Amino acid sequence: MAIIPAAITGSAAAGEKVGVIALVALCAALLLARPSASPRLRAGLMAAVLLLAPVLLVIDIWHSSQLAHLRRHPALAAAALAAAAIVVVALASLMRARPQLLALLAFIALPFRVPIAAGGSTANLLVPLYVVIGAGTLAAAARMLSPRRRAAAERSEAHAQPQPGEHSGAGGLRWALTPRALEHALAAVLALYGLQAAYSADFAKALENVTFFYAPFALLFVLLREVRWTSALLRGCLGALGALGTIFALVGFVEYARGRLFLNPKLIAADQYEAFFRVNSVFFDPNIYGRFLALVMIALMAALFATRSRRLLLGFAVLLAILWGGLLTSFSETSMAALLLGLAILAAWRWDALTTALVTIASGILALAVVLLAPASAHFGLSGEGGSANNATSGRVSLITGGIDLFAQRPLYGYGSGSFEVAYKRHRKGDEASAVSASHTIPVTVAAEQGTIGLLAYLALIVIALIVLFQGAGRSPPRLAIAACFAALVLHTWAYADFLEDPTTWALLAIGLSLARRALAQRALATRPQGLAGVDGEQRQSAQGLGPQLAPQS
């Protein structure tokens, strides 16, 4: 086919590896670029990421059966691309006029997945979210390159001062606890993932992860980080998530009553060990469905604790009851554990940490007793005929021990990004769990794929993120809600999968970082003597939460 030159396809193996490394390098540079940096530079980085990711993916799957129809009908492919471009450009024009529309549409699109065949398997991709990210990127680049915006950015850069605690002279430990350190940690994880993809035992999987998840979600992070997160916008996003959660729960109730799923009628691999029906709603996976409901419930509970309106309290109570019913029908133990952690954090904030700790310990002891004493027929029983830890965890014990074995064989650098499934199958032939593509425990997956180097980078990211999100969050219910949701999500990934492959992770980090940075600026402005030079209008605007460079001037 003349569209893809033979020279490109012939050198695809080496070229794709270079392309992946270049793509993650661009993403890292974009994460580290300050809002006051050159608008042309930032717009160029965003455009490069937006273009390179799909190009790499198309080159990788061009000769696969999935694109056979498009190869035979280039006119149809061109028409589809033109239609998609029209939708993205039209949406970008709306976002350029109303930048906060990006945040609302991104949260509405977060849960929706579309099954698409790629790389010999079917992936449930966040196509609506990709459209929002593409439109948001075009709108942001257009604003950056407008003459008025360039002039404002140049003035801001000329008079810019370091963020409180983020200047180069700050001590190492002090700097490591700042929002800037979180951006560096994210950039380091991305860069390392791309480098370790070069020797991966499953490079195709690593390429898919970078192009489907890491690159577009890095763009999402940058876009959301620079949105004006006003109280009204936060309430609007929470309202959208509450409405979506209610709709999904109602769909789940209908599925449970029918005993049949609307989507994905064949139970996914995670369900093959189950002895009972689990609701997926529209998520193709009961654990991802449960995770979404749990995070929405945590955010709603934070809002409930912060409100004094009886009418709102009643509304929150009704929503939480519906969502709790939906979570129960998913039978997702990991989601329930994540919910309990998030609620414990909120309870410690609302009442006191000691009482919360005692109640949490008592609840844990009670749950452990139920697990130990329950019959094997209840699926999670460890006692009785056929009871085992592996059965109780849907085969995950085998996956975890297998991942640990892989780590022991290559403790320093692992088998390469995205390689868990291939490496596991090679070393545990005939294992009934070999169809699963991850260990269902993110630290084990990272250790097996990326070794000690990747594990240290992952742990550093978690620690820095938790410190940045929780530091001073007790004075701000929205910040506390973000921090509690992130902690719950991390716990969920320790018992399931999808950390940086989940856009929710990036969204929580972006909003939490933006709010944390604004809080630092507000405290610095409050403690600065009146009339002291160096606090210009742009700094006051940022400190008051009117947002950095992506938002138009008021």
pLDDT at 66 over 70: no
Task: Please indicate whether residue 427 or residue 376 has the higher confidence score (pLDDT).
Answer: 427
Per-residue pLDDT reduced to its tens digit, 15-28: 889 999 999 999 99
Per-residue pLDDT reduced to its tens digit, 278-317: 888 788 888 899 999 999 999 999 999 888 888 888 989 9
Distance CA 404, CA 448 (A): 7
Of 230-234, 349-353, 416-420, least confident by mean pLDDT is 349-353
Note the pLDDT of residue 426: 86
**At 164, is the pLDDT very low, low, confident or very high (cuts 50, 70, 90)?**
low
3-class SS string, 49-111? HHHHHHHHHHHHHCCCHHHHHHHHCHHHHHHHHHHHHHHHHHHHHHHHHCCHHHHHHHHHHCC
The enclosing H or E element of 321 equals helix 310-330
Q: Cβ distance 223 to 101 under 8 Å?
A: no
What mean pLDDT comes out for the span 337-359? 84
Task: Please indicate whether residue 432 or residue 196 has the higher confidence score (pLDDT).
Answer: 196
Supply 206's token pair. Answer: 């690593």
Distance CA 325, CA 135 (A): 36
Closest to 261 (Cα-Cα) out of 246, 278, 248: 278
What mean pLDDT comes out for the span 93-118? 87
Q: Cβ distance 94 to 87 under 8 Å?
A: no
Query: How many residues make up the chain in this entry?
Result: 554
- Mean pLDDT is highest, among 212-221, 299-308, 342-351, 415-424, for 212-221
Note the pLDDT of residue 65: 66
Q: Cβ distance 448 to 232 under 8 Å?
A: no
Strand partners, 116: 123
